[in-house]
Structure 1
Amino acid sequence: MDHDRRRRAPGPTGPASALPPALAVHVEDFAEHLTLQSNRSAHTVRAYTTDVRSLLTHLADGRPDAQVSDIDLGTLRAWLARQVASGAARSTIARRTSSVRTFTSWLVRSGRAEHDPGTRLASAGAHRTLPTVLHAEQASEVMVAAESGAREEHPVALRDRVIVELLYATGIRVGELCGLDLDGVDSERRVVRVLGKGDKERTVPYGAPAADALERWVAIGRPALVTAASGPALLLGKRGGRIGQRQVRTVVHEAVEAVPGAPDLAPHGLRHTAATHLLEGGADLRVVQEVLGHSSLATTQLYTHVSVARLRAVHEQAHPRA
């Protein structure tokens, strides 16, 4: 196989100049594989290639002639031990283990190594902490605060209300929200079509309050901000371009901050809140999985633990023999 081919993956592979050329080329080829064949997000490509570059730097330490075929179980364990010694969090170790397992598997499939030591690499899983969510009353107050800010029909206020309403109504990710186009909204059926992880499209419903916010934004707010740079984007920044994730995070933080006693949340916190409230309202777990776009039901099951934890907290507070 020609490992020196010129076609490289676009995007955030980062410089590999610190590595010997014989190793650096594999980092670039792995990034190309993740981007073009596995269809991983730019964030995932960046994280995985950073981890692999760290592993190969460890491999090349004192061995300038090292090859990827030299990676064995001892190499992987020694590299992870360095991460632990440097104070890396348990969740970070779990992710780095996943990264190098993916890499060593790819080495074998692409004919660059005969054996896959990653299959024998064990690592303690990351602790799954329960996400912080709003109580139903707090969520309602956040929506009221967003609506009151939009009453004067200022374009930015109308947009901010749509952001908060849609994130809570649908549970979509912030990247999915920012990527929404006008034709991704079906106002008659009250659904949005979003492109999730792995470029998987799904349809998510929303309710009457979000429908009202969308109608006012499209009719009044968006026309006031639209420019030649707007394209089909549903949500726009103050200069008319497609809104960015940083702007959305600021909007959400400010909306939640307006409610006394509410925990500070990012957009993903509204996603957690939406999922928890759906389950507490009696929604089937698999329906929630489909709404959130989770590939595994185990990921969605985290929200059942959130509901149980909240029930236990209320019980301990209210029951005389708790």
Structure 2
Amino acid sequence: MVSTKGKAPKLVLMDAGFLAPLIVEFAYSLEALAHSGLTIRGYTDSARHFAAWVCEVGLQLDGLGKGAVDGFARHHCRCAGGRRWNRVSAKYARRAGRFVTFLAECGVVPPPPAPAEIVHPQILDYQRWLSVHRGLSDRSVSRQGRMVKRLLPALGGDPRVYSATTIRAVFRAEAQRCSPSHIRTMTSALRGYLRFLAASGLCRPGLDQAVPPVLQWRLSALPRYLPTADVERLIATCALSNPLDLRDRAALLLLARLGLRAGDVCGLRLDDFDWSAGAVRVCGKSRRSVRLPLPQDVGDAVLAYIKDGRPMVVEDRLFLRSKAPYRPFTTSSSISYIVDRALRRAGVEDPPSKGASLLRHSAATTMLRAGATLEAVGAILRHRSLDMTAHYAKVDVTMLETIAQPWPGEA
């Protein structure tokens, strides 16, 4: 008998059983997403532990779903390897869930069932109409559908019996429970829904006029903008030595020079840039695609990001996350966060706002003060109405002084 006194206990590795080859494929997929070796080991260790537990309790492939991950998280662990856990940590269980998601993506296990949501057929038709005929984004279509769905129980399912009295009563009752900004969005959604029903012959025409207007002064506030010197300070905070700053600098210049919206920047793709012509294609609201001239400093910043800062992954979207997995931004708020972070780095105290629209307003104000016409500014900002562009004329004090009438009496 060989004495083991004074020797370290032999490490007993977990047996992943029939899932062992799939764990190897899982590791390869994480490596392709540019995860670090430490992160890959953390995921594969959790996956191997989960696989050993699956073999122990006798689960089959068709039983590996969210319920299996929940059971793994709750199990009183006495598995091989010396673990003595009363409960698996939430982070550890999420890593095992990532492995199950990988198995579903590969078609090895059934995909998780979609959450059951009963949506009225008319709302589905309305959403399709918004997408096809109005050109709204998927996010806006989803929001409009939620708004109408909230009102539908009070309105009733038969549009043929809708009346102006019913619509006003339902809307006023909803206004008592919501904020003014929510009600303004609700107004747009309900009017659009009633116009869709009338165009489809499902209700009487003109009922959209029964929706009470929300009292507000259109374009009453001054545009929120930064002086040109502060905008340049924001851009100068981005160094040219690391990938994160290269990405942020390119995004800030697109916002500041071309007046793009956060959603425009978020949705840019590599093939939107025509380098030979010095132009960029932007697909904005209502999915209208336009070509804008690409200033030299903007083009240089985008090229620097693509060459030295952008991860080498198979993805056609321009801007990607700075940490693995390198995926595109899911919402435009990520672009606004870049602006917010630059404001804090530049030490801009008490900015009028902290989102991407701040640089859009600043670009329009700067162009107008430099002598650009309202038509030219409106073309760059892609305004449908010149009234929207005229909003920025209120901050051009020099121009307003030339048309201001003298005060008729003494102060």
- TM-score tier, shorter chain, comes to 0.7 to 0.9
Query: 1:184 maps to what in 2?
Result: 272
Query: 1:137 maps to what in 2?
Result: 229
Is 1:166 aligned to residue 251 of structure 2? no
322, 334, 338: which one aligns with 1:251? 338
- Which amino acid in 1 is paired with 2:192? T
Question: Could you state the TM-score of these two structures normalised by the residue count of structure 1?
Answer: 0.78
Query: 2:168 maps to what in 1?
Result: 77
- Which amino acid in 2 is paired with 1:179? G
Query: 1:36 maps to what in 2?
Result: 132
CA separation in 1, counterparts of 2:280 and 2:147?
36
Query: 2:393 maps to what in 1?
Result: 304
Kindly state the Cα deviation for residue 16 of structure 1 after the two structures are TM-superposed.
4.5
CA separation in 2, counterparts of 1:26 and 1:271?
37
> What is the CA RMSD across the aligned residues, in angstroms?
2.7
88, 113, 131: which one aligns with 2:179? 88
Query: 2:158 maps to what in 1?
Result: 67
Q: Describe the superposition over 1:101-153 as per-residue Cα deviations: whole angstroms up to 9, x where unpaired.
A: 2211211211212343113444145344333211111111112212xx22xx2
Query: 1:20 maps to what in 2?
Result: none
- Which amino acid in 2 is paired with 1:226? M
CA separation in 1, counterparts of 2:308 and 2:159?
58
Kindly state the Cα deviation for residue 190 of structure 1 after the two structures are TM-superposed.
3.3
CA separation in 2, counterparts of 1:82 and 1:217?
52
Q: Describe the superposition over 1:72-127 as per-residue Cα deviations: whole angstroms up to 9, x where unpaired.
A: 111121122113322421x4333322222221121121121234311344414534
Kindly state the Cα deviation for residue 266 of structure 1 after the two structures are TM-superposed.
0.9
Q: 1:124 to 1:241 in 2, by over 3 A?
A: closer
Q: Describe the superposition over 1:25-58 as per-residue Cα deviations: whole angstroms up to 9, x where unpaired.
A: 2112211211233321123212322222222222
Kindly state the Cα deviation for residue 159 of structure 1 after the two structures are TM-superposed.
1.0
Kindly state the Cα deviation for residue 278 of structure 1 after the two structures are TM-superposed.
1.2
Q: 1:76 to 1:195 in 2, by over 3 A?
A: same
Greater C-alpha Rg: 2
For 1:187-226, list aligned pairs within 5 A: 187-222=275-310, 225-226=311-312
Quick check: 1:168–1:271 contact (8 Å CA) kept in 2? yes
Q: 1:28 to 1:289 in 2, by over 3 A?
A: same
Q: 1:298 to 1:125 in 2, by over 3 A?
A: farther
* Structure 1 unaligned residues grouped into runs of 5+: 1-13, 18-23, 61-65, 313-320
Query: 2:187 maps to what in 1?
Result: 97
- Which amino acid in 1 is paired with 2:173? R
CA separation in 1, counterparts of 2:350 and 2:258?
20
- Which amino acid in 2 is paired with 1:251? I
Is 1:58 aligned to residue 154 of structure 2? yes
More divergent stretch after superposition (241-250 vs 272-281): 241-250
Quick check: 2:167–2:210 contact (8 Å CA) kept in 1? no
* Structure 2 unaligned residues grouped into runs of 5+: 1-115, 402-409
Kindly state the Cα deviation for residue 195 of structure 1 after the two structures are TM-superposed.
0.9
CA separation in 2, counterparts of 1:121 and 1:260?
43
CA separation in 2, counterparts of 1:126 and 1:308?
25
Quick check: 1:48–1:99 contact (8 Å CA) kept in 2? yes
Quick check: 1:256–1:262 contact (8 Å CA) kept in 2? no
131, 154, 165: which one aligns with 2:242? 154
Q: How many residues align?
A: 282
Is 1:242 aligned to residue 297 of structure 2? no
Quick check: 2:187–2:213 contact (8 Å CA) kept in 1? yes
Q: 1:50 to 1:126 in 2, by over 3 A?
A: farther
* SS at 2:224 equivalent: coil
* SS at 2:213 equivalent: coil
Quick check: 2:265–2:335 contact (8 Å CA) kept in 1? no
- Which amino acid in 2 is paired with 1:29? D
Kindly state the Cα deviation for residue 308 of structure 1 after the two structures are TM-superposed.
4.8
Kindly state the Cα deviation for residue 189 of structure 1 after the two structures are TM-superposed.
4.1
